[in-house]
Amino acid sequence: MSPPVVQLRGVGKRYGPLHVLRDVDLELGAGELVAVVGPSGSGKSTLLNLMGTLDRPSSGEVLLDGVGAGRLGDPALAALRAGWIGFVFQSFHLLDGLDAVGNVATGLLYSGLPGRERRRRAADLLRDLGLGDRLGHPPSALSGGERQRVAIARAVLARPALLLADEPTGNLDSAAGADVLALLTALRAEGTTVVVITHDREVAATMPRRVELRDGRVVADVAAGQR
Amino acid sequence: MSRLAARDLVGLAGSGLRRHPLRAVLSALGIAIGVAAVVAVLGVSRSAQAELAAQLDALGTNLLRVQAGSGIGLGDAVLPASADAAASRVAPVTAVSAVADVDATVRRNELVDAAETGGIAVKAAREDLLGVLGGHVASGRFLDGALGRYPTVVLGHIAALRLGVGPGVTVWLGDQRFLVVGVLDPLPLAADLDRSALVGWEVAQARLGLSGEPTTLYLRAAPSQVGAVRDVLPAQVNPEHPENVAVSRPSDALAAQLAAEDAFTGLLLGLGAVALLVGGVGVANVMVMGVLERRGEIGLHRALGATRAHVRRQFLAEAVLLSALGGAAGVGAGAAITAAYAVTRGVAAVVPVEAVTGGLAVALVVGALAGLVPAVRAARLSPVQALRTAG
Ligand SMILES: Nc1ncnc2c1ncn2[C@@H]1O[C@H](COP(=O)(O)OP(=O)(O)OP(=O)(O)O)[C@@H](O)[C@H]1O
Ligand SMILES: [Mg+2]
């Protein structure tokens, strides 16, 4: 049996005296779609950053595809982020100096592919996402929903095994939010493991699995059928 | 493996600079001024030196001047009458000519006081003098066999300016009229002749009371033997009183001028270095600001797969690109200054390759040093820290 895509073993995170995460055990298999919910400050973003190797746990272990991230050096971690992990940030983090295609193409910037090929794939993906007529627009000329779709396109351009999305629907109205969720669900169908942080109970309710955090602890981890 | 191609690195550096074009230009200005100063200083001094060296080359460094030593107890400052014949017997000597002081003044007309020299000396010259000195006539002709016997005179270029006359005009030497037949170009190796009126040897003896002993010999020696000839000349020319003979090499003064240019160049180069230093501080300042402003972007790039080394390289490349652009602008400006100098001075412009490559290399090094600390700081940022502060 292949190892879980993400496995957290007794993971804790402290900032000084503040315990942001305590003793988190979690396993995510290939192709899972998981919602992470919990009140503000409960440690959701921290958890996502640990899964994405953007941060290191204070205790415990994060295993990615069966390999302990703590044992990997900076180049190996960077390689994981370049190809195996995709991030979608709540605040988009799009670059204003680049148009939509350029922004999406940065998803393959560290892949070793030539720039022309990166742009070609980025343009294809944007067309698939219904943004074919926005290719040359800078982020400032896009709507919130369009920006979020561009940010997701950038995250999935390298076809990562793990997609980590921090409140991807947070800034969107329900129609645009539904578009984004449909997109994430479609990715899951291709075998990508998707983790989505959300405040939105309705959104969480549509997800097959729901992990709930409170004060840094996992207080519920339920599959849709169990509700 | 996460990779960043050189092309992409340059592209990222360029897009970093394009974000604040005015800021980039201003900070590159210091580097540009420094490099321009270095290139212009070296270019101008090298152009001047090239001109001087070309002049030296054309004039030759194998000219020797022999004069009677002057001083207490040495008697009249003349050489023995046989001096030029004796000098020409020294084997490596290829040509000898002579000049003798004539006790007369030259005047524009008879109304001018005969005691007034006007700063112009009258000298008798051998016909081959101009050839030995490597000089040229500006107008008219030099003294020759036919003219030497007649009351004709050739004027040095300053003498002609002072008298305000040219060929075809008569002037007064003592109480006799002499026809000006030629005016000389400046003689860099015998500047005293520029202020002289030269008459033929025979005429001077016949009409102006010249006794026949030369005052000064000019001679050319085989270039490799100049030093040896210089050593033996006093005893050859005046065997009884070799200590009364002074031998000098007129080209030494020009050569000294060539060397003297270097000291001045060093000073100006120091100023250029200070400008470069200031430019480097400007670049460092801009890079530090850039790192602070772009923390979010740094975090994003880490999330996209940049290693710490990639981030470091991006900021280093940006600093180096910035100073390289400044350096290139500086080289252009320095070359333009050199060209302008060369045009106004009528010399050939020389922009030394080592000034261009050196200026650019220094600009690159300054950029790399200036970018180093900001780049290392950018690379040290943890991805979460960087993303968090950017909101
Ligand atoms: N670098 C840090 N230094 C100090 N405290 C931090 C740091 N990062 C996070 N925290 C604290 O950790 C706690 C959890 O933060 P986190 O961002 O994970 O919460 P969250 O569940 O994502 O909240 P939200 O829903 O508001 O985004 C918060 O109290 C936060 O202030
Ligand atoms: Mg959060």
Assess contact for B79 and B66: CB atoms under 8 A.
yes
Comparing CA positions, the residue from B154, B176, B151 lying closest to residue B165 is B154
A72 touches chain B (CB under 8 A): no
Contact A78 B384 (CB under 8 A): no
- Mean pLDDT per block of 10 residues along chain A (227 residues) reads 90 94 95 94 95 96 95 95 93 90 96 94 92 94 90 94 91 79 85 92 88 95 73
CA of A20 to the centre of ligand 1 (A): 7
Q: How far is the CA of A46 from the centre of ligand 1 (A)?
A: 6
CB contact under 8 A, A81 and B300: no
Tokens of A6: 């993400």
* Own/partner pairs, B169-172, CB within 8 angstroms, 24+ separation: B171/B106, B171/B107, B171/B108, B171/B109, B171/B197, B172/B106, B172/B107, B172/B108, B172/B109, B172/B110, B172/B112, B172/B114
Interface of B with A in 271-300 (CB under 8 A): 296-297, 299-300
CA-nearest of B214, B217, B222 to B93 is B222
* B306 → closest Cβ in A49, A78, A154: A78
- Relative to beta strand B93-102, strand B170-173 is unpaired
Q: Considering the entire predicted model, what is its pTM?
A: 0.73
pLDDT at B238 over 50: yes
* Cα B46 → chain centroid: 6
At A189, list the tokens: 């169908």
- Name the least confident of A32-46, B106-120, B369-383: B106-120
Tell me, using a 6 A CB cutoff, whether residue A198 lines ligand 1.
no
What is the rounded distance in angstroms from the CA atom of residue A68 to the CA atom of residue B112? 110
pLDDT of residue B391: 47
3-state secondary structure of A152: helix
Task: Give the pairing type, strands B152-155 and B176-184.
Answer: parallel
pLDDT of residue B80: 80
User: Shortest CB distance from A78 goes to which of B2, B390, B391?
Assistant: B2
Does residue B75 surpass a pLDDT of 60? no
In degrees and rounded to multiples of 5, residue B98 shows phi and psi of: -140, 155
User: Residue B359: which H helix or E strand, with range?
Assistant: helix B353-380
Contact across the interface for A54 and B383, Cβ inside 8 Å: yes
Q: Reduce the DSSP state of residue A175 to 3 states and report it.
A: helix
Rounded Cα gap, residues B120 and B98, in angstroms = 18
The model's pLDDT over B289-301, given as tens digits with 9 standing for 90+, comes to 888 888 999 999 9
Contact A48, A123 (CB under 8 A): no
CA–CA gap between residue A121 and residue A127 (Å, rounded): 10
Mutation choice for ligand 1 from A45, A91, A214, A217, CB with most ligand atoms inside 8 A: A45
Tokens of B275: 């400008």
Alpha-carbon gap, residue B181 to B197, rounded angstroms: 11
Residue B341 per-residue DSSP state: H
Residue B305: the pLDDT is 95
E-strand stretches of chain B: 63-68, 93-102, 106-107, 121-125, 137-140, 152-155, 170-173, 176-184, 196-200, 216-221, 245-248
pLDDT at A68: 94
Establish whether residue A36 lines the binding site of ligand 1, counting it when its CB lies within 6 angstroms of any ligand atom.
no
- pLDDT tops 70 at residue B341: yes
* Average pLDDT of span B220-231: 83
